[in-house]
């Protein structure tokens, strides 16, 4: 298993980054919060996990060991694969996810695209005693402040489309979230706000 990657950041996308390690550019799938905390040319150290499939080897990267461990743990639930596990961490910070599971908050869990009521019930049943209690402090990397330009709006809208919403739904949710956004809100916070709007 590749447990971590350290190297210069060569590309930053919404949900993937490229980190150069020993002259090789490694494509890492990640959450918008982790990606937004990285900057081109700077060195990054990311916790990683390698998912092996018959036709692919995919590296997933996280801002903390805690995020990576949760990513791996939620995949022990029947019906939850890497795509849904990453969506869970894109929508919910680790402690918010722990709180939702320990309190059986199905409404919060079903805000994650791909998780319905039955799936949320299964997650609660199978993970309640495995994720631990929320610490009360946000885990993971701190996202970089979002620019108050169209750039972050495009990033958030792109993330929503990637999670399965239509372009119109995404644009409407981003517009509503932007109106209520506090000054200095980061990309991750805006994504969560837009998802809350879609859940209304």
The answer to whether residue 72 scores a pLDDT higher than 70 is: yes
Residue 105 lies in a domain: yes
Q: Tell me the pTM.
A: 0.68
* Range name among 8-12, 74-78, 172-176 with the lowest pLDDT average: 172-176
Residue 134 lies in a domain: no
Residue 183 lies in a domain: yes
Q: In the chain, how many domains are there?
A: 3
Structural contact between residues 175 and 198, judged by C-beta atoms closer than 8 angstroms: no
Residue with more model confidence, 146 or 66:
66
pLDDT at position 141 is: 32
Percent of the chain with pLDDT over 90: 40
Nearest to 109 by CA among 63, 135, 69, 77: 77
Domain region containing 27: 4-62
Residue 140 lies in a domain: no
Structural contact between residues 149 and 187, judged by C-beta atoms closer than 8 angstroms: no
Alpha-carbon distance of 151 to 73, in angstroms, equals 33
pLDDT at position 190 is: 79
pLDDT at position 140 is: 35
Alpha-carbon distance of 78 to 2, in angstroms, equals 24
Task: Taking residues 69-75, report their average pLDDT.
Answer: 93
Instruction: Name the pLDDT band for 130 (thresholds 50, 70, 90).
Output: confident
Judgement on whether residues 39 and 17 belong to the same structural domain of the protein = yes
pLDDT at position 25 is: 95
Judgement on whether residues 10 and 51 belong to the same structural domain of the protein = yes
At 165-200, the pLDDT tens digits run 787 888 888 888 877 776 666 777 777 788 878 776
**What is the residue-averaged pLDDT of the chain?**
83
Residue 173 lies in a domain: yes
Instruction: Name the pLDDT band for 138 (thresholds 50, 70, 90).
Output: very low
For position 76, which CATH number holds? 1.10.150.20
For position 179, which CATH number holds? 1.10.8.10
């Amino acid at each position: 298993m590749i447990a971590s990657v350290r190297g210069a950041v060569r590309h930053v996308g919404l949900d993937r980054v490229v980190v150069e390690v020993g002259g090789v550019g490694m494509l890492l799938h990640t959450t918008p919060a982790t990606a937004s905390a990285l900057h081109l040319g700077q060195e990054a150290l990311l916790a990683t996990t390698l998912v092996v499939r018959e036709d692919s080897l995919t590296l997933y990267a996280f801002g903390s060991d805690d995020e990576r461990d949760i990513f791996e743990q939620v995949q022990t639930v029947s019906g939850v694969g890497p795509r849904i596990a990453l969506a869970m961490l894109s929508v919910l910070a680790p402690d918010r996810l722990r709180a939702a599971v320990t309190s059986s908050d199905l409404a919060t869990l079903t805000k994650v695209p791909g998780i319905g009521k039955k799936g949320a019930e299964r997650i609660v049943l199978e993970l309640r005693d495995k994720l631990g209690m929320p610490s009360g402090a946000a885990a993971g990397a701190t996202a970089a402040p979002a620019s108050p330009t169209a750039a972050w709006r495009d990033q958030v809208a792109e993330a929503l489309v990637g999670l399965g919403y239509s372009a119109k739904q995404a644009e409407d949710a981003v517009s509503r979230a932007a109106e209520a956004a506090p000054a200095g809100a980061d990309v991750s916070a805006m994504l969560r706000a837009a998802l809350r709007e879609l859940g209304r």
